[in-house]
Amino acid sequence: MLMYHKVGEPVATRADRFLNVPTPSFRRQMRLLARLGFRAVTFGDLADGLAGRAELPAKPVCITFDDGYSGVATQAAPALRELGWPATIFAPTAHVGRRNDWDAANGKPVLPLLGWDELRALQGDGWEVAGHTRTHPRLADLPDEQALEEMRAGREELEERLSATVRTFCYPYGSANVRTPELAKEAGFVAACTTHSGWADAAQDPFLLPRVKVASRDDAWGLCYRLFIRPKLG
C-alpha cells in the first residue's frame, strides 16, 4: 500500500512541500510500478485478497490518497487513467468540497478538497472512496462512543452520497489506541490502514495495515528505495 496525500499542489514555502508529490514524480512512479509488473487494486480488493475472499494479481499495489485534495483529481488521476489503474481516496465527510481546516492550527497549508461530484467521477473510473471519519479527529484521544460515531457516521454519509458500499477505512493522523481497530470493525469496516511504514500482508491485523509513505522529494528512485531497500535495512 502506498500512502500519498497531495499531488502537484502549489509550492511557495517549505511547508507546502509536506506530503505533496510533484506531478511529474508521481507519473514516473506509476510508470515504474507498471514496468516492474505491479497492478493497482483498490483497498477493498486488497482487503478481500489478503483475507482469501478474492484473487489478487501477482504483484498488487494499492495507491491511497488521504483526505481527497483536489490535485488528486487534476494531477494524479490523469497518470493513473493512462494505465487504467484505480486508486483509493480517504474522505472525511464533513470536509468534502471544503478545505483541510484541521491542518490550519499546525501551520500546514490549507487547500481545497474534492467535492461530491468529483468523488463520484473518480468512482466512475473504478476508484474507491473510503472512510476517514466525519471531522478528521485524533480517534485515540476520543471516548470510544465518540470515536465509533465518527467512523460510523462517516461511513454512512459516504454510502448515502456515493450510492456505494464503503468497507475500508484510514485512521486520521494514523491515530488509534488499542481499542480503535475493534471500533472500526464495529463501525462496519472490513479493513483499515495506518500511517505505520511497511508492506501490508495477510499475516497482519487487517485493521492495522501499514503503508509505504511517499514524500515530496521522492522521484522514481526514491520510491524504489522506500519499497525495496529501506525495509531490508530494518
Residues that bind Zn ion (CB under 5 A): 66-67, 172
Comparison of 75 and 220: residue with beta carbon closer to Zn ion: 75
Distance, in Å, from the CA atom of 69 to the CA atom of 39, rounded to the nearest integer, reads: 24
Nearest to Zn ion of 6, 152 (CB atom): 6
Instruction: Identify which of residues 66 and 118 has a Cβ nearer to Zn ion in the complex.
Output: 66
CB of 100 to Zn ion, least distance (A): 8
Instruction: State the nearest-atom distance from the C-beta of 116 to Zn ion, in Å.
Output: 18
- Whole-number CA gyration radius for the chain: 16
CB of 102 to Zn ion, least distance (A): 8
Whole-number minimum distance, CB 94 to Zn ion, in Å? 12
State the minimum distance, in angstroms, from the CB of residue 42 to Zn ion: 18
Q: How far is the CB of 90 from Zn ion (least distance, A)?
A: 6
Q: How far is the CB of 62 from Zn ion (least distance, A)?
A: 16
193, 209 in Cβ contact below 8 A?
Answer: yes
Closest CB to Zn ion among residues 18, 225: 18
* Contact yes or no for 109/11 (Cβ under 8 A): no
Specify the residue, 109 or 172, whose C-beta has the smaller distance to Zn ion: 172
Place of cell 465518540: 146
Residues 6+ apart with CB under 8 A from 81: 125
For Zn ion, which is the closer residue by CB, 33 or 72?
Answer: 72
